[in-house]
Structure 1
């Protein structure tokens, strides 16, 4: 397999490969080149050489190409979904939805294609100014393993539509579907060098991309510790930096909420993709008047969930993506029990037996009576574990929710507009949902505050971040 898609091909050295493992079976399903600084340099140079020609095409032409690529993704969505399940672990239903979501993102950017809006400034006798938006040049994107296809769309769509070229580094655990989609973009007519995919570890390939002086913008999605290193490596040579660094999203359920709808929202919001979502519900705050009924119904739902290989029918939740993720989840629950910081109401164990012995499976877990200062409320738990805190009123819920260092998303479940206004005003989050959680359509700006990162993806905001203003001063 070539190291680069649409770029100067660079073959990996003998035996320099990364195994890709199915998290449900432990089986090695493929391997990809172990890219290094040399491959990143080749990719950046290919992107730099392609920039002049690509940026001279019209935005309409670029949009039409994205639209064609979206059609090819929809054509192949079943095969792409199976590939994503095999490398990532999520149920096939979730995987195919994610693939079609990527097509939807590209279609959105195709739909808004047009010359970027400019402005004119009259200076009277001193002249006139015309201000246009122009592409930045070579951009970089580093993709995580949890939602690799959706997030590829978030980064590729606006970067290419704006007229930039792009070097993309997938996660080593989940590079296969990203490579297939890059090939479909090539099939749609993307010129050589415009999109270059380099596989390899973050410590080598990712670091080289972040620190490359020809890269004018970098978009990274991953954890906070890595994000800080990315920012240091990027230094002053970047004109733009987007960092989405995870979250510990609170879900606040008030006494007037539709309980059944909120229970369904909590199940999907926490256990979708085995809880491996930046914007998953990671802390549940229940008003004391409805806490008992809510917990009873939630427990029944969790105990009825079917866990297994995502390719099997009627699976509600697949495995965690790796042994490392499984170990972190086990540690978070065991620490909570050892410190007596909460009571496991349901689950709380690694699954064993036929179908589970070779994979990274953990039971959907509900922890009640969690202490306000418990570690499981402060750290981002990237697994199927939901800690619950009972609160007496809205002010207490907001105060406890804001104790996190993160500020990505939050949701409130209520029928009262005043409650909505108070949560929206006071909660630390980049997006606040009302009576839902997780939904992030491509039209909606997405990003966080606090230690959840900087910058926004999706919508016109993302398109703006891949351009810069350029002024023509007419001194008549």
Structure 2
């Protein structure tokens, strides 16, 4: 039996309904983060490649095949895409797990819900209605909504399919088209989905994919003058840079950026359940989520018990190769990300002088030495002035802080440049709603975490971005609204003959 390794699959760009070579032969390696092995190679799209992809999507947007499609026909097609996606879920679980290192069970639980994002938006395509507006005088005023055009979308490595689908579903259901630049770390499921959708009947050019690095390919896409909208999920600095580029062309924008989610644990809530939610919120996806429950703000009466139990819980989480169904925590996505997390452990110990109560190291298991693993890490006695309280780590890393009053807890929660999500643990219904109203963020979970729905708006405030994904809010952002004013009076009109008799100008 031969032990020879097969050459990695080389992927081109996906433009106009087919895989095409990039302008230059330069390739980027895609690494399996659990093993450090070469998984595939992808093309590095040039400015000219990006231009080709955007122009292809623009041509598709204006084509009779797509622009002339009725809402009901388009909705039927979007539902068909959902069915095709669902039929290939097992393939997608396996591919995404190998690509981004998230455990197979987590990936399955997340991706299995994604076809419903298409079905929900297909429903909105059928249900949408334009307005008739009552106005003074003998006039009929109504609105027409028209799709905005080509949407550029830069997606991150942590949830490649889910985050892409949150944009793709309303884009296609509204009649827009898109060019997606997936993370160079995790492009494989995006490329595969584009292929599947074209095979299922999506017109070529409606969903193009360009691969490459953010500072080159991503920049070329963000600043392209033919984009009607720019969507990015990523770091706050990337949002500032690309948002300015897209803003120069007056493109609409949805930016879902960094986060430092506060979790307020009150003393009337069961401590064991609070710890279970804390572990879930902090360590799912190896902590690589913008909504990671990374700041646990705990009432002083249950603080010591909470810290001890959370440290114990962190030590029980099974770390390993994410393709093993028994594994609960996979690697972070890259060696660079691993070093980032370990550097924040050093900051917590040496600069902040916080108390490390669990993790903080690379696992000792020699079977994991080639992967990018970090133990689930818990710091206690963290105060708002510490860097590990304020800065996003993006790994399996959580801090625990103490509060004594509700007002203090809210002040600590809001003491952050970020405002994506927050969470509350309490059995007091009045308190839950009162505190939720005072948290400065776009999403709040009460006695839960990480939950979303195709119908529920998703997005942040402050340095966590602008705009909303999901819900009618996202769908409606893919249209321009045109006001049509119809005069219903046949009486002759001549302003300059009868100026003195005119009763209105506007």
Between the aligned partners of 1:278 and 1:249, the Cα distance in structure 2 is: 8
**1:323 partnered with 2:349:** no
Aligned partner (choices 48, 54, 57) of residue 44 of structure 1: 54
Secondary structure at the counterpart of residue 162 of structure 2: helix
Secondary structure at the counterpart of residue 193 of structure 2: helix
Shift of 1:261: 2.0
In the other structure, the counterpart of 2:459 is 447
Between the aligned partners of 1:114 and 1:92, the Cα distance in structure 2 is: 35
Between the aligned partners of 2:253 and 2:153, the Cα distance in structure 1 is: 10
In the other structure, the counterpart of 1:109 is 121
Between the aligned partners of 1:191 and 1:115, the Cα distance in structure 2 is: 23
In the other structure, the counterpart of 1:136 is 148
Pair 397,442 (structure 1): closer, same or farther in 2 beyond 3 Å: same
Checking the alignment, whether the CA contact within 8 Å between 2:322 and 2:330 is kept in structure 1 is: yes
Checking the alignment, whether the CA contact within 8 Å between 1:413 and 1:435 is kept in structure 2 is: yes
Residue correspondence of structure 1 range 18-97 to structure 2 within 5 A: 18-52=28-62, 53=64, 54-97=66-109
Give deviations 1:339-365, integer Å, cap 9, x for gaps: 253111111111233221101000001
Between the aligned partners of 1:168 and 1:320, the Cα distance in structure 2 is: 23
Aligned partner (choices 345, 349, 354) of residue 342 of structure 1: 354
In the other structure, the counterpart of 2:223 is 211
Aligned partner (choices 370, 384, 387) of residue 375 of structure 1: 387
Checking the alignment, whether the CA contact within 8 Å between 2:23 and 2:46 is kept in structure 1 is: no
Between the aligned partners of 2:311 and 2:444, the Cα distance in structure 1 is: 26
Residue correspondence of structure 1 range 260-409 to structure 2 within 5 A: 260-409=272-421
Checking the alignment, whether the CA contact within 8 Å between 1:332 and 1:381 is kept in structure 2 is: yes
Aligned partner (choices 142, 162, 172) of residue 174 of structure 2: 162
Shift of 1:124: 4.6
What is the aligned-residue RMSD (CA, Å)? Answer: 1.5
**1:181 partnered with 2:193:** yes
Between the aligned partners of 1:112 and 1:464, the Cα distance in structure 2 is: 9
Checking the alignment, whether the CA contact within 8 Å between 2:23 and 2:49 is kept in structure 1 is: no
Q: Higher mean Cα deviation, 88-97 or 112-121?
A: 112-121
Q: Higher mean Cα deviation, 351-360 or 151-160?
A: 351-360
Between the aligned partners of 2:273 and 2:375, the Cα distance in structure 1 is: 23
Checking the alignment, whether the CA contact within 8 Å between 1:5 and 1:183 is kept in structure 2 is: no
Between the aligned partners of 2:411 and 2:300, the Cα distance in structure 1 is: 16
Q: Higher mean Cα deviation, 59-68 or 72-81?
A: 59-68
In the other structure, the counterpart of 1:119 is 131
Secondary structure at the counterpart of residue 241 of structure 1: strand
Name the TM-score, length of structure 2 as normaliser: 0.91
In the other structure, the counterpart of 2:233 is 221
Give deviations 1:248-272, integer Å, cap 9, x for gaps: 0000100111222221111110000
Secondary structure at the counterpart of residue 101 of structure 1: coil
Secondary structure at the counterpart of residue 65 of structure 1: helix
Between the aligned partners of 2:352 and 2:165, the Cα distance in structure 1 is: 43
Between the aligned partners of 1:345 and 1:185, the Cα distance in structure 2 is: 48
Checking the alignment, whether the CA contact within 8 Å between 1:22 and 1:29 is kept in structure 2 is: yes
Shift of 1:125: 3.5
Between the aligned partners of 2:267 and 2:276, the Cα distance in structure 1 is: 16
Give deviations 1:22-69, integer Å, cap 9, x for gaps: 001000111111111111100111111111231321222222222212
Pair 79,163 (structure 1): closer, same or farther in 2 beyond 3 Å: same
Name the TM-score, length of structure 1 as normaliser: 0.97
Q: Higher mean Cα deviation, 18-27 or 346-355?
A: 346-355
**1:193 partnered with 2:170:** no
Between the aligned partners of 1:262 and 1:285, the Cα distance in structure 2 is: 11
Secondary structure at the counterpart of residue 328 of structure 1: helix
State the aligned residue count: 476
Secondary structure at the counterpart of residue 411 of structure 1: strand
Give unpaired runs (5+ residues) of structure 1: none
**1:249 partnered with 2:261:** yes
Checking the alignment, whether the CA contact within 8 Å between 1:102 and 1:152 is kept in structure 2 is: no
Pair 61,238 (structure 1): closer, same or farther in 2 beyond 3 Å: farther
Pair 238,340 (structure 1): closer, same or farther in 2 beyond 3 Å: closer
Checking the alignment, whether the CA contact within 8 Å between 1:98 and 1:149 is kept in structure 2 is: no
Between the aligned partners of 1:2 and 1:314, the Cα distance in structure 2 is: 35
In the other structure, the counterpart of 2:449 is 437
Secondary structure at the counterpart of residue 4 of structure 1: strand
Q: Higher mean Cα deviation, 47-56 or 379-388?
A: 47-56
Checking the alignment, whether the CA contact within 8 Å between 1:253 and 1:287 is kept in structure 2 is: yes
Q: Report the structure number with the largest CA radius of gyration.
A: 2
Checking the alignment, whether the CA contact within 8 Å between 1:402 and 1:427 is kept in structure 2 is: yes
Shift of 1:8: 7.2
